[in-house]
Each structure stands twice: as C-alpha cells, then as structure tokens.
Amino acid sequence: MPFKRLDQARPFVTLAIVVIGWLLVPTAVKTFLRASFFELTAPISLATSKVRDLQEFWSLRLHSKNQLIEAGVDLARINSSYELAVQRNSELQSEISRLESLLRLPSFTEYRYEHARVARRDFSGWWQRIVIRKGKNFGIPLDAPVVFTGGVVGKVTEVRAMTAVVELISSPNIRLAGVVEGDTRPITFQGGVNPTFAPPTGVVEFVPLDIVATPGTPKRLVTSGFGGVFPPGLMLGTITRASMGSDGLFQSGEVKLDERLGSLTEVTVLVPLGEK
C-alpha cells in the first residue's frame, strides 16, 4: 500500500521539483530561453498563416464566373467610394495645414504605415494578443501603435526577427488615457478581463460627473494623445455605462470595444518617422 501511494504521488513530486528548479533559474537565462523558443516557433506560425492564405486563394478559385463578376462589380463600387474619400481626405489635410500655418500650431507627429498580416491569435483571461508577420526585418519598433479601420488595435510589446507581438486594447495589461469625443478632460482606460469567446470590453475610471453614458446614449471614447504612444482622436470604443465611484468625485464605467478585434486578419502599424 505505501508503494502504491508513492507511485501516485510521484508525478506531483516531479512537477514540484520542475517548478522549483525553474524558479531558481536566473532571469537572464529565462529571458534567453523564452526568446529562443519564440524564434524557433516563429517559422511554424508564419507557415501556418501562409497556408491559410493559400487555402483562401484556392477556395476563391472554385467560385463560378457569375459570382466573380458580381464580386468585381461590388469591388468597383467600393473603389469608387474610396477614391472619393481619398480626394476628400486630401482636401481636409490641405485645410488643416493651412490653418496650422495661420495659427502657428505645431503639426502632429507623422508616421509611416506598415501593413501586416495576422499570423496567430492568443486569447485568454490573462492577456489578449496577436502575432503579426513583420518584425525587425520591416523596422517595427517596440511600443508602436497598431490600428485598423475600427480604431485602435493595441501596441507592439515584443519585436522579433520576422514577427512581432501586439497586445490588444482588450487586454488588462493595456492602460492609457482617453477622452470622450468633444471633451478635453482625460479619462483612464484599461482593458477588461475578457473570456475567450466573449465580446471584448474595457473599463474607465475618473470619468467626470457631468458625463452621462447609458446603453441608450453611449459616449464615444477616443485617444487623448497623452503619453506619446497613440496620436489623438483614434477610436477606442463606446462607454455604455458610467456610475458613481467609491470616492464620490468621479465615475467609473464599462467600455464596449469593436467585436472585430477577435477576428482581424490584417492590421497597420504606425511607425514614427525616423525609426529604422
């Protein structure tokens, strides 16, 4: 009987020895092993992502000619709309430059846009992040803001040779300053604890008492520009609820984020000019 109990406890003893041994390993060695493991597995993630793109390509090849013609017509309409939007954007940029010159205002920090495909998603209760197929080989810097058509995706937290890790704004590790659209008072935003398949959410603190946000009358939350990471005016989400905090001076509330954060296939990294 004692031998049987010893056999049952052996896996737990082995696990305890491994955990204690890992805790005793120097931090420098842990960092080196983690970076080495990431670089060794990066080609697998890239290959899987490219195979997925190839599958999508051949699935499109199986469509009938009528379907392709209809898709081409829709694409032509979308392109026409984008051409008009580009012209309008150029006009607005010229007007902004003219007003900045007249008022002697400094221009916002300029960026170059580096588009990247998503290679892997890693969602859990502790973090929300994606891996993109560009890294040091394309000059992606650490802490670079990442955006898409719906606003802010997150920021680059790790840069490797051919890949980079982007922490999403839905992650509880992300904390930044935002403002309600049309207001100038800063509000603290932080990613929430999001289950794997649940809609992404965040939380806000230090919301002024005169701002009223309900599910029927939500408030748009945008970046404030403070902190030097994200340029101002980028969409973060919508405040759907705000209630009195424990201190009685400010409100706290919930932020509904864009549901497309969990299914992104391509993002854009804003690389400050001068970064190599």
Both structure tokens of 173? 């590790």
* Alpha carbons 60 and 54: distance in angstroms, whole number: 10
Question: Model confidence over 112-161: pLDDT tens digits?
Answer: 899 999 998 888 766 789 999 999 999 999 999 999 988 999 999 999 98
* Alpha carbons 163 and 133: distance in angstroms, whole number: 5
Higher pLDDT, 123 or 242: 242
- Reduced 3-state DSSP string for 60-94: HHCCCHHHHHHHHHHHHHHHHHHHHHHHHHHHHHH
Other C-beta atoms lying within 10 Å of the C-beta of residue 106: 6
Architecture of domain 175-260 in this structure: Beta Barrel (2.40)
Amino acid identity of residue 206, one-letter, is F
Predicted confidence at residue 212, as pLDDT, reads 92
Contact 140, 133 (CB under 8 A): no
Question: Model confidence over 13-22: pLDDT tens digits?
Answer: 677 776 776 6
- Select from 221, 44, 195 the least CA-distant residue to 128: 195
Q: Residue ranges per domain, the chain? A: 10-61, 175-260
Question: Model confidence over 25-70: pLDDT tens digits?
Answer: 677 666 666 666 666 666 777 777 777 777 777 777 777 778 778 8
- Cα-based angle 131, 38, 48 (whole degrees, multiple of 5): 55
Query: What pTM was computed for the model?
Result: 0.71
Across the range 218-234, mean pLDDT stands at: 89
Predicted confidence at residue 174, as pLDDT, reads 92
Mean pLDDT of the chain: 83
Question: Model confidence over 192-205: pLDDT tens digits?
Answer: 888 777 889 999 99
